[in-house]
Chains A and B, each alone.
Chain A
């Protein structure tokens, strides 16, 4: 079916179909981001620090709006630390004060000590805006695909290549 690429409109249409698959996936992700108000509404658990609640590879759905109540002790939250690019999933164990400047302390269920050592240098607590969402749902094991993909980056190239080929070579 490569011959169809000779017609510029047909080639443009096939390229468009491929582009629209990518962009639609991206915009759905962004739509979910906007709805949940979280820059990353779905995250994958990378460590066993929250066992037995979450295992490595679990997919978590986050919610980052405080419509009914503030983020409080007992909630499992995902937070970012300055200058570290990997978000951490842990439970809120202490809270001092209320509102956006309330001081929060987190700890992994499976860890012996709280997270003060994980925080940035000189940081002793989290505030609300460090948090990118509270866990409201999870899918066990599904996220293992992304762990595989990030631990073996060449798999990404292979997968993207196959997807691209399929879309370009196949109409309908």
Chain B
């Protein structure tokens, strides 16, 4: 499993983004958020339908030859393009980089979309849409942070600063994990690069998952993080 000692290449923006994306559901689900997989499931359904259709087309073509099945093949090609087009539209206009949809224990639903807005700058941009209970007020937050805030120099993902970034920036998350809310808005100043390295070393022995690390290490970063924490 993704131990926090798994290294990624810090120059690879996709790696930085994917690792961070994967950490979000881990973290939120550990806070008892209920994740909804509807968007992913629709995408999978569309994709596999298209794939099965192509498979069927291959089989009848192989078995009965081209001339006998021409019209079925023409229909299959048209249907396949339609499904694939729908899939593309779904990914670009509905999912739009969504990495998490879920409901907080307190009832709010939130949807987190991530992107790396500029190709050459290691920046992580989260758009968080929050909806209150029973169609209450909607709210959209945009958070942009540098990946260097939670990746150390060699490419270890360090969970505490990442989680505290989320908890501080998104009140709904902060409410369920008050320990992670940073006292000020400036998270970068809370974790210096030295502290990141120390945290990353500290979690070697104690931790199994990238997301569920370490409590109380903020004030004494050198201290070995003793207990594993689920909540």
The stretch among B73-81, B136-144, B189-197 that forms the contact with chain A is B73-81
The stretch among B42-50, B118-126, B165-173 that forms the contact with chain A is B42-50
Contact with B along A34-78 (1 / 0, CB 8 A): 100101000000000000000000000000000000000000000
Would A12 and B57 count as touching, CB distance under 8 A? no
CB distance from A45 to the nearest CB of B (A): 21
- The reply to whether the CB of B18 lies closer than 8 angstroms to some CB of chain A is yes
- The reply to whether the CB of B186 lies closer than 8 angstroms to some CB of chain A is no
A3-B2, A9-B37, A13-B40 known; A30 vs B51 contact (CB < 8 Å):
no
CB distance from A84 to the nearest CB of B (A): 16
Contact with B along A11-34 (1 / 0, CB 8 A): 011001101101110110011011
B41 nearest CB neighbor, chain A only:
A9
- The reply to whether the CB of B185 lies closer than 8 angstroms to some CB of chain A is no
Main SS at interface, chain B: helix
Q: Which residues of B contact A6 (CB under 8 A)?
A: 1-2
Would A16 and B48 count as touching, CB distance under 8 A? yes
B71 nearest CB neighbor, chain A only:
A34
A26 and B84 alpha carbons, distance in the complex (Å): 13
- The reply to whether the CB of A1 lies closer than 8 angstroms to some CB of chain B is yes
Q: Which residues of A contact B54 (CB under 8 A)?
A: 22-24, 26-27
The stretch among B62-70, B176-184, B199-207, B217-225 that forms the contact with chain A is B62-70
A24-B84, A30-B73 known; A9 vs B1 contact (CB < 8 Å):
no
Cβ-neighbour of A12 out of B44, B70, B76 (below 8 A): B44
- The reply to whether the CB of B115 lies closer than 8 angstroms to some CB of chain A is no
Cβ-neighbour of B58 out of A1, A26, A31, A34 (below 8 A): A26
Give the total number of A-B pairs whose CB atoms are below 8 A apart.
Answer: 70
Q: Which residues of B contact A117 (CB under 8 A)?
A: none
Would A27 and B80 count as touching, CB distance under 8 A? yes
CB distance from A9 to the nearest CB of B (A): 5
Cβ-neighbour of A23 out of B14, B37, B40, B50 (below 8 A): B50
A1-B18, A39-B66 known; A9 vs B40 contact (CB < 8 Å):
yes
A32 nearest CB neighbor, chain B only:
B77
Q: Which residues of B contact A17 (CB under 8 A)?
A: 47
Q: Which residues of A contact B50 (CB under 8 A)?
A: 20, 23
Would A33 and B73 count as touching, CB distance under 8 A? yes
Q: Which residues of B contact A16 (CB under 8 A)?
A: 44, 47-48, 51
CB distance from A3 to the nearest CB of B (A): 4
Would B6 and A3 count as touching, CB distance under 8 A? yes
A27 and B44 alpha carbons, distance in the complex (Å): 19
- The reply to whether the CB of A171 lies closer than 8 angstroms to some CB of chain B is yes
Q: Which residues of A contact B41 (CB under 8 A)?
A: 9
A27 and B70 alpha carbons, distance in the complex (Å): 13
A39 and B68 alpha carbons, distance in the complex (Å): 11
Would B2 and A34 count as touching, CB distance under 8 A? no
8 new A-B contacts, CB < 8 A, other than A13-B40, A31-B77, are A13-B44, A20-B51, A23-B50, A23-B53, A23-B54, A23-B80, A27-B77, A33-B73
